[in-house]
Amino acid sequence: MEQDPVVKPKTRIAKGFQDDWQSSTGVYINFDCIEKIGEGSYAQVFKAKRKLTQKYHAIKIVRCRILSNLDHHNILRFFTCWLEDSGYSPDESGSSTQYSINPPIRYDYLYIQTELCVYTLRVWINRNNEKKSLLDPKRRKEALTKFRQTVRGVEYIHSKMLIHRDLKPENIMIGQDGKVKIVDFGMVTRDNDPENLRERSMYKGTRSYMAPEQIRQKTYDRKVDIFPLGLIYFELLWKMTTYCERAKVLTDLRELTFPKEFQHNFHQEYLKIKPMLYEKPEQRPEASQIHADLKNISDSLRKIKTRRRSIHMTKTLLHSSVPINPVQHNMGSNIQQTFALSAESKQV
């Protein structure tokens, strides 16, 4: 039986997708009238007519190769993906079963293998709100640790000339090692690509975490990832108990309106978060600069911890049953007064 001639696409296939398309022999054999109708950084969509039914379909080619090359301990590790004609589902006994829909059609299921994560940062925030008060020193330290890891991941993404475009607590996972893992690269695009200006002006992402230029659909760059980082750091520190409260506070933050108690209790963090939320992207810091600034906060928290420990030790000595001479007593009083004055001054 004579085979139908191979029909080449009517429009040029972007560089990098050529091999993917040419290797898709099933597309050439089963479809004709192939025409490109859409394109992103890591996917192309084609309109094609299935020979058997003479009906038009959309065919999407997704490139996983570039994303699989992202190798960083704060990025979800992608291992491989494959297509199969059957699905997988555990039965009631807990054992696995396979099921198939429309058996004559091959490759109905896409399997993606990644490293295993435990829960999202949203879950971590909610649990932290239940367990710790705003003034709990551990809250501040743990929030800084999680945020530093997130920033390292974003810094790595930007170093690869990529923009995530959908950073939010739900797209940040906690791995089995307890470290932050940035996930969901479905909206990732290239940064500073002159041939990709239209893609970098699209309304993509989650509105409550979008940068202003994303919402207005202006041409943007990697700084759209900095804006949600400011919101995420705030959420790690501040307790919001209801959805309505969170929606109102996040809206206020877009106008640089912070809760007064936040400025007082987390003054140094406030000074770092505020620039991330500037309306003009060129005024926002780079991820690398944020990473450097967070080290200063870490050093300050370490000093505060040391100071509190010293005050505690001094009080313990003063109230101990062990007799002390007047010189030691005066020395202890002077130390206590010194730390008291320091504690009353502006928060470090």
Are the CB atoms for 313 and 295 separated by under 8 Å? no
Structure token pair of residue 216: 């207005």
Are 122 and 262 members of one domain?
yes
The answer to pTM > 0.95 is no
Task: Judge whether 166 counts as a catalytic residue.
Answer: yes
Domain range enclosing 28:
18-61
Number of domains observed in the structure of the chain: 3
Are 190 and 246 members of one domain?
yes
Question: How many CA atoms does the CB half-sphere of 147 hold within 13 Å?
Answer: 30
Are 134 and 222 members of one domain?
yes
Are 189 and 89 members of one domain?
no
Which residues on neighbouring strands pair with residue 35, listed in sequence order?
47
Are the CB atoms for 165 and 205 separated by under 8 Å? yes
| CA distance from start to end of the chain | 82
- Indicate which residue of 32, 91, 166, 193 is catalytic: 166
Residue 41 to residues 64, 78, 188, Cα–Cα distance (Å): 11, 18, 7
Are the CB atoms for 231 and 277 separated by under 8 Å? yes
Are 122 and 110 members of one domain?
no
Per-residue pLDDT of the chain (348 residues; tens, 9 = 90+): 444 443 343 333 344 444 444 444 456 667 777 787 666 555 566 778 888 888 887 776 666 666 778 899 999 988 877 777 655 555 555 554 554 444 444 556 767 788 889 899 999 999 999 888 888 888 889 999 999 999 999 999 999 999 999 999 999 999 999 999 999 887 888 887 665 666 666 767 889 999 999 998 888 899 999 999 999 999 999 999 889 999 999 999 999 999 999 999 999 999 999 999 999 999 999 999 999 999 888 887 777 777 767 776 777 777 765 555 555 545 545 545 444 434 444 444
Q: How many CB atoms lie within 10 A of CB 133?
A: 9
Report if residue 1 sits inside a domain.
no
Nearest 5°: the CA angle 189, 194, 200 is 35
